[in-house]
Amino acid sequence: MMPLFLALLTAAQPIVGDTSVVARVGGIAITADELLTSYEFGPAFVKRSPDRLRRHLEYMINERLLALEALRLGFDTTSFVSERREALAEDLAVEQLYRDVILSRVHLSDDQIALDAVRAGTTVLMRWIYCPTETEALRVQNDLLRGAPFDSLFARNLDSLISEGSRSLETTVLRLERDNPIVAAALERLHEGESSGPIRGPDGVYIFHLDRMMRNPLITQTEAAKLRHDAVAMRSRMIADSLAEGYVRAKMMESNPVIKAEGFNIVRALIGDRGLSHDTRVQWNIPTTYWTEAGPQPISTSGTMMDRPLVTFGARTFTVRDYARWYDIRQFQLDTRSPEAFNSSVKRTVWKMVQDRLLSEEASSRGMFERTDIVLRSREWRTKLLYLAGRSHVMRSIQITDNDLRQRYSRERKRLRDGSGQIPAFEAVRQRLWEVEYAMRESRTLNDAIAGLRKRTGVWVDETKVKELQDSIPADSRPLEAVFYKPGGTFPRVAFPTIDEAWERLK
C-alpha cells in the first residue's frame, strides 16, 4: 500500500489568535498566541506548577536567548540547521498542499456528523496482552476460552520493565477508529469484560480486552458543539487520508520511477554500516567498503559510489548522495529481523524519498512556500533548530575527567552501598557517577550561560498580560505526559515546536 503523504493533527492547522506581544527577547517577539499554543503542546511538568504559564514562558525565553547566541555564532549556516530547516519548510508546504488539494474536497452529511459526534463522546477503556508469535497468542486465547481470568493472564504479561499503564489505553471510539481501525472494529463487537481474538500488529500479535465503554448522556451545549467540531475534524481527516493515498499513487505512476540495482546495493551498504553489527553484515553479505591501493575504504568516502544513480524517472536522476542527505536527518527505524525484511524496509525509504521530492515540487509549483503562514511557521522551526544548536554548543564546554569521577566516588562511597552493604568497585558505578556529575554541571552551566545572555540581550515581559492569560486557562490537576506527534509528511516531527522537555532537569 502506498504510504499516505500526510496525516495532519487538527491542532497543527494554522491558528489565528491573539497577536499581542507578551515578551521580547532581543529582537524576537513572543505573542500571546505563540505562548498559548506552545503551552498547549508543551510537556506536563510545567503544567503542574502554580505559575504554569509564566514558567512555560520563561523556558521559551531561555530557548530564544540560546537561539540568538547560535545565530551570532553563525550556526544558521551549519548543515544541522540549514538542512533541517529546508526539510521542515518542505513539510509545511506539503501540509498546505494537503489542505488545498485534498482536505478541501471532503464533505460530510449531517447524519454522518451526528453519528461521529456520538462516537467522539463515547469513551473506551482497554487493555491488551502482547505476544511475539501467533503460537503464543493462540495459547493465551485458548486459556481465555477455558475460563482463565483476563486479569491473571494480563498480570503474567507484565514485568519490571512493562507497567500496566504501558499496556492500557483510555480513548474515544472515533479516535481509536482514526488511529487503528482494525482494533476499533474488533472492540465494537465486544461487550464490557470480553476479549478479542488475536490481532496481528507490525511487531507481533495482540489480544485486546474491553474493560469499559461509556458515554455521558448529560453534556452542555458547549460540550456538544466541541464534540461535533472534533468529529468533523477527525472524520474529514480519515476521508482525506484515503483520497491522499490515491493522489500520491497517481503522482508516482505518472513519474514511473525505477530503482537502480547498483545504487540500491550501495544504499543498503551505507545503512547497514550504521545500523547492523559486523557479524550481521557478513552473514547477510552486505559489504560496506570498497578496495583501493591503500586497502579497504568506507563506501561513504567514495565520490564515485555516492554519485551513482539510485532512482531514475524520465530524464531525471536521484543519486545515492541525494538519498544519504535525505536519510541522515530522518533516521527511520528499519526492520532488521531478517535480510529480506531489511531490504524491504530500505526499499520503502527509497520510495518515500521519491514521493517526498515529488510532493515538495508540486507544492513549490503552486506557490506554497511563499504563503505567509508557511513563512511564519518555518521561522518558528528555525528558532527551535538554532536553540538546539546553541544549547549543544554550551553543553560541549562540559568536560568530566576520570579524576572528577574518582573524587565523587570517594565522597559518596557510603551512599553507593548495595543491598548486602558492600561498596561496589569504581568501574561498576562509573557510568552512574558520570550521569550524576553531568546533571549537576549541565544545570550550573546552562544557568550561568542564560544569565549572561539575558544581561547582554535584554528581556521584557508583560507580566499583567501573562497573568491574564494564565487565569483564562483551567488548572489541570493531572496533566498527561503526551507528545503531540505529527505522523506522515515529508519530515517526521512533533506537531508544534514547543519547549524542550530537557528543561525539567534544570534546577
Q: What is the pLDDT of residue 249?
A: 86
Q: What is the pLDDT of residue 476?
A: 56
- By C-alpha distance, which of 202, 245, 233 is closest to 6? 245
Q: Which residues contact 141 (CB under 8 A, 6 or more apart)?
A: 197, 198, 207
Domain 122-215 has CATH 3.10.50.40: yes
Q: What is the pLDDT of residue 55?
A: 93
Query: For cell 481501525, what's the residue?
Result: 181
Strands 309-313 and 316-319 turn out to be antiparallel
CA 326/CA 117 separation, integer angstroms? 41
> For the chain, how big is the Rg over CA atoms in Å?
26
Low-confidence ranges of the chain (pLDDT < 50): 1-16, 477-487, 490-492, 494
Q: What is the pLDDT of residue 478?
A: 47
Q: Which residues contact 33 (CB under 8 A, 6 or more apart)?
A: 15, 16, 17, 18, 19
CA 126/CA 366 separation, integer angstroms? 45
CA 224/CA 121 separation, integer angstroms? 9
> What one-letter code names the amino acid at 265?
N
In degrees, rounded to 5, the angle at the alpha carbon of residue 24 between the alpha carbons of residues 388 and 452 is 60
pTM as predicted: 0.67
The three cell numbers locating residue 90: 518542505
The pLDDT tens digits of the residues spanning 251-289 come to: 888 889 999 998 998 999 888 888 888 888 888 888 877
Phi and psi torsions of 361, nearest 5°: -65, -35
CA 431/CA 492 separation, integer angstroms? 32
CA 409/CA 401 separation, integer angstroms? 13
Q: Across the strands, what pairs with 28?
A: 25
Q: What is the pLDDT of residue 287?
A: 81
The pLDDT tens digits of the residues spanning 400-434 come to: 999 999 998 888 877 887 777 788 888 888 898 89
| Domain range list for the chain | 10-105+369-397+459-505, 122-215, 258-365
